[in-house]
Amino acid sequence: MIKGYIVDLDGTLLDSMFIWNDIGSRYLLSKNIIPKKDLDKILAPLSINQAIKYIINEYSLNQTPKQIYQEINTLLKQRYLTEAKLKPGAKDFLIRCIKKQQKLCLLTANTLEITNAILDKYSLSELFTKIITSEQTDLDKQNGTIYHFAANQLNLKPSECIVIEDAFHAILSAKQAGFTVWAVYDASVQDKWSQICTISDKYFKNISEMED
């Protein structure tokens, strides 16, 4: 029996991945530094703290991780609050889960500040039993440990949860960790969609199609 869901934010509930697609390059350009062509692809699967460490090492930046975090967070937050939109059916799905007394954990690689701002904007905060960001745990979605951590926070076993994700690396990690995984299509994963469909337990073009 499914008692809860571990749900991703960006690309799953929120149409926002386009904001992340070039954030590394945008940040460096704001410092008059020319980024390498493959930078944003390298940063894509990383948490924001991991991405900052990479940028500091690769481009020999003098700022501290905290300073860069604050600067990037400012760039991101402005775009999130003006450009990011909930995907069709996202809030309705969450409400249906609550009505069925199923627990919800939001698990995101985004920053806590931006996550809270978006949840407040769309009045979603009260729907989640737990809200977990990668920066709070020092874990990332390239390792299934973070999904076990989330399940523990809900006091549920992996067999009692469904993970909902859009990114290939996250779906693969959750599957390898022993979770049932539902995939949601996002334009950012178009080139990986056939692989995602192969490894996921279920896959949906739109979150409004989801029914347990």
Tokens encoding 40 = 């944003």
Query: 178 and 158 in contact (C-beta within 8 Å)?
Result: yes
Mean pLDDT for the chain overall: 94
Q: What does the alpha-carbon distance between residue 70 and residue 186 come to, in Å, rounded to a whole number?
A: 28
pLDDT tens digits, 65-85: 999 999 998 999 999 999 999
Structure tokens, 66? 């905290």
Mean pLDDT of 28-33: 94
Task: Say how many CA atoms lie within 13 Å of 53 toward its Cβ.
Answer: 6
Q: Is the separation of the CB atoms in 164 and 6 below 8 Å?
A: yes
The residue extents of the domains of the chain are 4-16+85-209, 18-83
E strand segments, 22-125: 85-86, 103-108
pLDDT tens digits for range 95-153: 999 999 999 999 999 989 999 999 999 999 999 999 999 888 888 898 999 999 999 99
Phi/psi of residue 133, nearest 5 degrees: -110, 155
pLDDT of 51 > 70? The answer is: yes
pLDDT of residue 212: 62
Is the four-CA dihedral 6, 147, 112, 103 of positive or negative sign? positive
- Please list, residue by residue across 181-195, b when 16 or more beta carbons sit within 10 angstroms of its beta carbon and e when fewer do: bbbbbbebbeebbee
Say whether pLDDT at 211 is over 80.
no
What architecture is the 4-16+85-209 domain classified under in CATH?
A: 3-Layer(aba) Sandwich (3.40)
CA distance 9 to 86: 9
CA distance 206 to 176: 24
- What average pLDDT does the segment 4-28 reach? 94
Token pair for residue 49? Answer: 């703290």
The DSSP symbol for 13 reads T
pLDDT of 47 > 90? The answer is: no
The predicted structure's pLDDT at residue 66: 93
In 65-174, DSSP assigns E strands to: 85-86, 103-108, 130-133, 161-165
| 139 or 34, higher pLDDT | 34
Contact by Cβ (8 Å): 20, 44: yes
**What is the pLDDT, as a whole number, of residue 135?**
81
| CB-based contacts of 116, cutoff 8 Å, min separation 6 | 125, 131
Q: Calculate the CA dihedral of residues 145, 51, 82, 190 and round it to 10 degrees.
A: -70
Placement of tokens 């279920």 in the chain: 202
Tokens coding 65:
């991780």
Lowest-pLDDT range of 42-46, 77-81, 168-172, 183-187: 42-46
